[in-house]
């Protein structure tokens, strides 16, 4: 619009973006569920913790080795201290956010993370992801809660090299995807690797959809995809 004073109608308008988000969400879920049930069938964290707790009875070499490493590093002792203080019974089963426990399907891939990765990749590609994201309307680029949690304070933003920077659309979309995904880790139903690898899985689903999309439009578009690893992919 700012370049050639045109706006999208059938292509690149609101309904087009929303339809791509719906399509990529469906594809990401189908892809991640295939990985869950047909490929990996990975134990949920609480199921693994239960096996570590009963490692002496199970006599499974991998579980015995894992339990030994946790004991040798002092991690097991700290977990038992936490669980003992919370429930009166020391065990390797950490408290969970869900009273019913983990979902009754495998841990990897993480559906929330795959969908978040797919949808955020679409948005970063179709919009100006380098645009500054400034909610304050002035030079204060970011907010953090104060120690008492009663209000927000403004802080400066720095890039990975320590240079002064600013929040961007890309950074905030990445943060949204991360928060959606890591929230499941906080709840105790996923591993960190579930989050990260599923985020990348969703990204790949979105890239494939964008490649297909480019074959259906009369223009010859070039799309720049900002990836979660910091690289840029041109389609």
Positions marked catalytic: 105, 112
127's tokens: 């919009």
Measured distance CA(167)–CA(156) in Å, rounded: 9
Please report, in angstroms and rounded to a whole number, the separation of the first and last CA atoms in the chain. Answer: 22
Length of the chain, in residues: 235
Count Cα atoms within 13 angstroms, Cβ side, for 133.
Answer: 16
The answer to whether residues 28 and 201 touch, using CB atoms and an 8 Å cutoff, is: yes
Count Cα atoms within 13 angstroms, Cβ side, for 115.
Answer: 12
- CA distance readout (Å), 234 to 10, 67, 172: 24, 46, 21
Cα 110 off chain centre by: 9
Instruction: Return the residue matching tokens 């907010």.
Output: 143
Measured distance CA(129)–CA(123) in Å, rounded: 8
């Amino acid at each position: 619009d700012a370049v050639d004073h045109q706006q999208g109608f059938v292509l690149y308008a609101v309904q087009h973006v929303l339809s791509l988000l719906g399509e990529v969400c469906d594809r990401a879920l189908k892809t991640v569920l295939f990985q869950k049930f047909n490929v990996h069938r990975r134990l949920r964290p609480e199921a693994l913790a239960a096996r570590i707790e009963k490692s002496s009875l199970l006599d499974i070499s991998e579980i015995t080795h894992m339990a030994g490493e946790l004991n040798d590093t002092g991690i097991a002792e700290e977990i038992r201290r936490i669980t003992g203080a919370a429930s009166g019974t020391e065990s390797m089963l950490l408290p969970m956010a869900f009273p019913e426990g983990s979902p009754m399907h495998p841990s990897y891939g993480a559906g929330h993370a795959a969908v978040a990765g797919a949808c955020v990749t679409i948005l970063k590609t179709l919009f100006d992801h380098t645009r500054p994201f400034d909610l304050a309307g002035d030079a204060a680029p970011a907010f953090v809660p104060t120690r008492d949690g009663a209000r927000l304070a403004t802080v400066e933003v720095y890039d990975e090299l320590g240079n002064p920077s600013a929040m961007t659309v890309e950074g905030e979309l990445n943060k949204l995807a991360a928060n959606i995904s890591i929230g499941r880790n906080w709840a105790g139903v996923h591993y960190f690797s579930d989050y990260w690898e599923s985020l990348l899985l969703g990204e790949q689903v979105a890239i494939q959809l964008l490649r297909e999309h480019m074959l259906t439009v009369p223009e010859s578009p070039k799309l720049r995809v900002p990836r979660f690893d910091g690289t840029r992919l041109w389609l």
